[in-house]
Amino acid sequence: MKFVSFLIGVSILLIQPCTVLGALVTDVRLWSAPDHSRVVIDLTESIQYESSPLENPPQFHLELKGTFLYTPKRELEVKDPFLSKISLMELEKGRVKLVLHQKKPLHVNVFTLKPYEEKTYRLVIDLVDIVQEKKEIEERQKQKEIKPKGTKIVVVDPGHGGEDPGAVGPRKTMEKEIVLKVGEKAVHLLNQNKRIQAFLTRKGDYFIPLEQRTKIAREYGADLFVSLHTDGSFNPQARGSSVYCLSLLGATDQAAKTLADKENLSNILGGAFSKPTDLSKDPNLNQILLDLRQNDTMRDSFQFAETLLKDIKPINPLKYPSYRQANFIVLKAPDIPSVLVEMAYITNKEDERILNGGEFQGKMAETLATSVKRFFTP
């Protein structure tokens, strides 16, 4: 089942008064995913809050203490699968009430995030449709069960999304948008092959925690996982494409380690709510199972990475002639060959220009599809 997801630009841009004794709400954003909606409140300081859900009508009330609005009340009509309206009102000095008007009862997770890089203090409210979430999982598992004999499943992962834009180019091109476009094209091309079924981890502009991306691939029963990215650098002259694989022992070089560290911070930028691990409760059993599968999986990952580099070279210069390795969280599935592709440097003016072009996006998608077919050809 295909879902259409989108970003709704809901912003409350407030003028800060001269003196505020407490936190100020500076922005409110809403992100829509197939199984949940996320409301993010930007604040100038850390706050305390109390929540109180209502069942009839279904609403979620959140009281923000020591917090101020520049205007006493604000209501936002929204276009969202699960929310009809967001209300913000100042009850009295230093107390702000947020009301999320739900179209149906939802499970709510609330958590705070500390400032990081350009991000301020954030209060995140995830409203999850448990029924739809379960349906999404069942749909993925069904694809694994009904796939024809000999069919290979490929999961393409457009990196970043939602609160996490990824690298941003000189003309404000966002990585999260480019990788989704290329991912959609690649999946479309792959699905034209009767012996391959391809799926995306995300179908719109919303964030998925890194560990959840590999979980989605496993639910599909993936035979290959490809995470798409565009590189970024403080050096505006840096250019080229590169391919990365997992390393269990250490990074190939400092540049690979730096990139892995940056990509692994996506959970902080995107705002990941910590959930219990899905692995077995027996850590010794986990390690045994990991060791049994990891060597074969990594060998296949290296093979696909080399194939992909050879196919990318004619359409874009390579940053490195061979694949690099580092400890990427998103590549850690022990039973699925996985690679991370940095298509070009979005922080380079020329690379940003070609990344925005339909011709390069199409060629990169075709290259990915060609490499996948070669990888699965005996």
Dihedral sign (CA 184, 185, 186, 187):
positive
Among 66-80, 274-288, 327-341, whose mean pLDDT is lowest? 274-288
Which sequence spans correspond to the domains of the chain?
7-130, 147-376
pLDDT band at 6 (very low <50, low <70, confident <90, very high): very low
Q: Does residue 32 contact residue 8 with C-beta atoms inside 8 Å? A: yes
Whose structure tokens read 């009509």? Answer: 77
pLDDT band at 342 (very low <50, low <70, confident <90, very high): very high
If we measure between CA atoms, which residue out of 207, 247, 203, 227 comes closest to residue 154?
227
Across 62-76, 146-160, 240-254, the highest mean pLDDT is recorded for 146-160
Q: Does residue 159 contact residue 228 with C-beta atoms inside 8 Å? A: yes
**Higher per-residue pLDDT: 27 or 224:** 224
Please report how the helices 358-376 and 349-356 are oriented relative to each other, as an axis angle in degrees rounded to 10.
80
What residue type is 40 in one-letter code? V
Instruction: State residue 56's pLDDT score.
Output: 87
pLDDT band at 73 (very low <50, low <70, confident <90, very high): low
Contacts of 262 (CB under 8 A, 6+ apart): 232
Question: Domain 7-130 - what CATH class?
Answer: mainly beta
Can you tell me the mean pLDDT for 195-220? 96
Q: What is the topology classification, in CATH, of domain 147-376? A: Aminopeptidase (3.40.630)
Percent of the chain with pLDDT over 70: 88
Residue 69 has pLDDT above 90, yes or no: no
Can you tell me the mean pLDDT for 324-353? 94
DSSP 167-233: SB-TT--BHHHHHHHHHHHHHHHHTTSTTEEEEES-SSS----HHHHHHHHHHHT-SEEEEEEEE--
Residue 160 has pLDDT above 80, yes or no: yes
Instruction: State residue 286's pLDDT score.
Output: 52
Dihedral sign (CA 167, 169, 171, 173):
negative
Instruction: State residue 72's pLDDT score.
Output: 59
Instruction: State residue 261's pLDDT score.
Output: 80
Can you tell me the mean pLDDT for 285-292? 51
**Higher per-residue pLDDT: 68 or 191:** 191
Q: Could you check whether 7-130 and 147-376 share the same CATH topology?
A: no
63 vs 47: CA distance, rounded Å: 10
Can you tell me the mean pLDDT for 355-370? 97
If we measure between CA atoms, which residue out of 243, 193, 237, 206 comes closest to residue 347?
237
189 vs 362: CA distance, rounded Å: 10
What tokens does 14 get? 């407030």
Whose structure tokens read 């050879």? Answer: 310
At residue 163, φ and ψ (nearest 5 deg) are -65, -20
80 vs 362: CA distance, rounded Å: 31
Can you tell me the mean pLDDT for 149-170? 95
Percent of the chain with pLDDT over 90: 66
Can you tell me the mean pLDDT for 17-40? 84
User: Which tens digit of pLDDT belongs to each residue from 249-263?
Assistant: 777 778 888 888 878
**Higher per-residue pLDDT: 276 or 36:** 36
Instruction: State residue 94's pLDDT score.
Output: 83
Instruction: State residue 287's pLDDT score.
Output: 52
What tokens does 316 get? 């874009």
Q: Does residue 149 contact residue 127 with C-beta atoms inside 8 Å? A: no
242 vs 323: CA distance, rounded Å: 7
If we measure between CA atoms, which residue out of 228, 209, 259 comes closest to residue 154?
228
If we measure between CA atoms, which residue out of 97, 88, 106 comes closest to residue 33?
106
Instruction: State residue 196's pLDDT score.
Output: 96
237 vs 259: CA distance, rounded Å: 17
Q: Does residue 313 contact residue 363 with C-beta atoms inside 8 Å? A: no
What tokens does 262 get? 């940056």
Instruction: State residue 18's pLDDT score.
Output: 44
